Structure 1
Amino acid sequence: MQAMKVAVIGGGLGGLTAAALLARGGCEVTLFERSKHLGGRAQTSDVEGFRFNLGPHALYRAGAGLRVLGRLGVKPQGGVPGQAGRYALHSGRLHTLPHGPVTLLTTDVLSLAAKLEVAKLLAGLARIDTEPLGRLSTREWLDTRLAREDSRALVAALFRVATYCADHSALSAQAAVAQLQYAIAANVLYVDGGWSTLVDAVALQAREAGARVELSARVAAVVLQGEGAGARVEG
């Protein structure tokens, strides 16, 4: 039986992962990346011995990404950041950012009523079913779950840190709540050597599985061809 031919457009971590899994599944895979390097925003620069990530820097240990990397045999190494020493800037002053029951009770960034409201929300966060939240924005969800403005402000800050998104009117509550669940459940991993090490490892798995990688190959259009489709490539 002839192998199915598959074109993967984009050589970021998502595209590389798709190429590796499809090639392992017996498909004839060609990945097209318009730039001269793989990884998309998952790039790491070396400046005087320090490593700086262009895009994401935290790999959620309870998230789907780490599970998929495990399927590929990629096991990232790194460190888990500590919880102490975090602060919130409010009204021109630094306040302890709560990271557990004790700091939630002792911080002065919240009123007593807000502390009780936030504590109740966080205590039940892991049990929230995120599936029905897909039709709600994060802003709508915050407004329905928290009555106090300072409570909403603190939880909104946690969402910004967990999702890299500040526009809570455009952000799905399903995605935001799930990401915060991951963060609280198992924290994150700061990858040794930066995210470019993940790109290199997944690219190696894709190539070893038989995927062909084309760099400087911009896909100008996807063209329908009978029951399938093809990619028109420039470069």
Structure 2
Amino acid sequence: MRAARTSVAITVVIGSMALTGCADKRTKAAVTVTVTPSHTVTSPATSSATPTIPTTTLPAGRAGTPRGGAPDLGGVNQKDASAVAASVMRVFATQDTALDTTTLDAERRAEPLLGAPLAAAVKLPLTGNGGGGAAWTVLTAHHGWTTAVAKTVPMTDVPDQTGDSPTLAVRQVDVTSTGHGTGNWTSKPATAVWIVTCRRTAATAPWRVTQVYDQTP
């Protein structure tokens, strides 16, 4: 598994693998967003030896409905872990440069279905350049947005998926995303594979996504 989401750093590759339109299908550019708490304090013992690099906290994106559409999270069957996992990953993959400052803003739209520690991670302020990466730059240049389809599939490395406990479920979600932009620009569709962990506080409580891992081949 290539990347784990934590409260410190989030690696986002959904919608980033074919947004150039003409790129080789085997080439993918990961969009990495580094999340740094704005209140981080430098230790007095090291502050004199380590230069401080000024950073600027990036503003969050605007509220609104992305042009690529998004599932109605209020209508998701929250007693179904598969439905929750697929809905969250589709929201993550649906980005819109007219609303979003960075790709993390798309993740924040899924907050109602997120649990700790992921819910806390997406709320943290961004500093530095916010990651972005080449794919986000291309999408921004086209004033673009993405559309996405997400579905749960049998886990390729865990054939037996009957081991869900009343409060823990793990799902593989395949997400296919496509970039769209001005001048009828459209990227090649790209599929990412995610392992999604869902938890709930009790057998009758709603499921929440707590961790996601990129497992794209």
Q: Do the two structures share a fold, i.e. TM-score over 0.5?
A: no
Q: Decide which structure has greater helix share.
A: 1
Greater relative contact order structure (CA < 8 Å, 6+ sep): 1
Q: TM-score, normalised by structure 2?
A: 0.24
Bigger CA radius of gyration: 1
Q: TM-score, normalised by structure 1?
A: 0.23
